[in-house]
Amino acid sequence: MSNIKSALTIAGTDPTGGAGIQADLKVFQEREVYGMSVITSVVAQNTLGVQEVQHLSIDFIEKQLDAVLKDIPPQGIKTGMIATVDMMKLIARKIANTNIPYVIDPVMVAKSGDSLMEEESRRVIRDVLIPLATVVTPNVPEAEILVDFAIKDQEDAKKAAKVIVDDLGAQAAVVKGGHLQGEAIDVLYDGGEYYYFKDARFDTKHTHGTGCTFSAVITAELAKGKLIKDAVAIGKEYITDAIQYSLELGKGNGPTNHWGYRLKGVPNHEEDME
Ligand SMILES: Nc1ncnc2c1ncn2[C@@H]1O[C@H](COP(=O)(O)OP(=O)(O)OP(=O)(O)O)[C@@H](O)[C@H]1O
Ligand SMILES: Cc1ncc(CO)c(N)n1
């Protein structure tokens, strides 16, 4: 079994299982890579929002990272919620000297509107972590903060992806269109070409954890050795199916659900035709 591929997520938690570490591990399992996790912050949250956050100490995050990296080096790494500057600097130091594909989901604000990152960290993620990234996967509000201009349409999203690569130093960037109007179109720029990933938009509020799930698929596929554009294509197809079958669980925004699609049940949500 020496050709087993493993992936590591470094992120915060969601005890209701729809976002963060829990969502990432479910995706890794679905994509048939061995999933591992390092927790940065423990988050009391659910489908309604974030109630409280407790950060783990830098020392303890470092111990977790060493435990994994010295024992089972992964073929793909992703980071999600990294709330503080010190956490970012530690992670940069640990990842900088590896050649492992690295996906950054620059989680700043939860869908509920709750902040998941300190203000000062927004500059540090841009300056310290993004230059190390194989792929960065911002949503529109996150991309706006990273590039410092407003994104109103696909042309702006394209410009933002180019700035993240050419000026900020990532190998590739996908600006996700979930927050724009119309079809759900994500734009990938890899330093050479633009690729557009276009799919149906579903009329549902059950989209908790879509960003985590999408970036975890990309990480799993990079771990298997896929090209960036192919990994993103698989991520897009997966998240579209998982949103179509997302679950009316909880009192707020329910989680995505890929096995619903796999089992070919009746779709839970209709395509948004407007
Ligand atoms: N209603 C929808 N129907 C279909 N696809 C969607 C919908 N909303 C988002 N997507 C897709 O889901 C993926 C994640 O995009 P989104 O912009 O929602 O991420 P996000 O805001 O980072 O998510 P979160 O913060 O909840 O984890 C993208 O591929 C996007 O195009
Ligand atoms: C821990 C965590 N990471 C990311 C998100 C993004 O939605 C969330 N809600 N919680």
List Cα–Cα distances, 159 to 193, 229, 232, in angstroms. 12, 18, 18
User: What pLDDT is stored for residue 67 in this prediction?
Assistant: 98
- pLDDT value at residue 261: 81
Using DSSP's 3-state secondary structure scheme, residue 186 falls into: strand
Tokens of 12: 């915060």
Domain ranges of the chain: 6-124+205-261
ipTM of the complex as predicted: 0.97
Beta strands in 80-214 (DSSP E): 102-104, 135-136, 173-175, 184-189, 194-199
Cβ contacts of 112 within 8 Å, gap of 6 or more: 45, 48, 49, 50, 252, 253
For ligand 2, atom 6, which residue shows the shortest CA distance?
Answer: 110
Distance 272 CA to ligand 2 centre (A): 25
Tokens of 52: 């409280």
How much distance in Å is there from the Cα of 236 to the middle of ligand 1?
Answer: 9
- For ligand 2, whether the C-beta of 82 sits within 6 Å is no
Domain 6-124+205-261 fold is: UDP-N-acetylmuramoyl-L-alanine:D-glutamate ligase (3.40.1190)
Q: Is any ligand 2 atom within 6 A of the Cβ of residue 38?
A: no
**CA-CA distance, 171 to 165, in Å (whole number)?**
6
Q: State whether the beta carbon of 238 lies less than 6 angstroms from ligand 1.
A: no
Q: Ligand 2 center to residue 116 CA distance, Å? A: 7
pLDDT in the model for residue 270:
74
Of 154, 149, 150, the residue nearest 185 (C-alpha): 154
239 lines ligand 1 (CB under 6 A): yes
CA–CA dist 45, 66 (Å, integer): 28
* Separation of alpha carbons 33 and 237, rounded Å: 18
**Beta carbons of 91 and 10 less than 8 angstroms apart:** yes
pLDDT at 266: 65
Q: Which residues of the chain have pLDDT under 70?
A: 1-2, 264-267, 273-274
What is the structure's pLDDT at 2?
A: 65
Task: Tell me, using a 6 A CB cutoff, whether residue 17 lines ligand 2.
Answer: no
Q: Give 229: exposed, middle or buried? Use CB within 10 Å, 0-12, 13-18, 19+.
A: middle
Rounded Cα–Cα distance for residues 93 and 159 (Å) = 29
CA distance 155 to 170: 20
Ligand positioned closest to the Cα atom of 138: 1
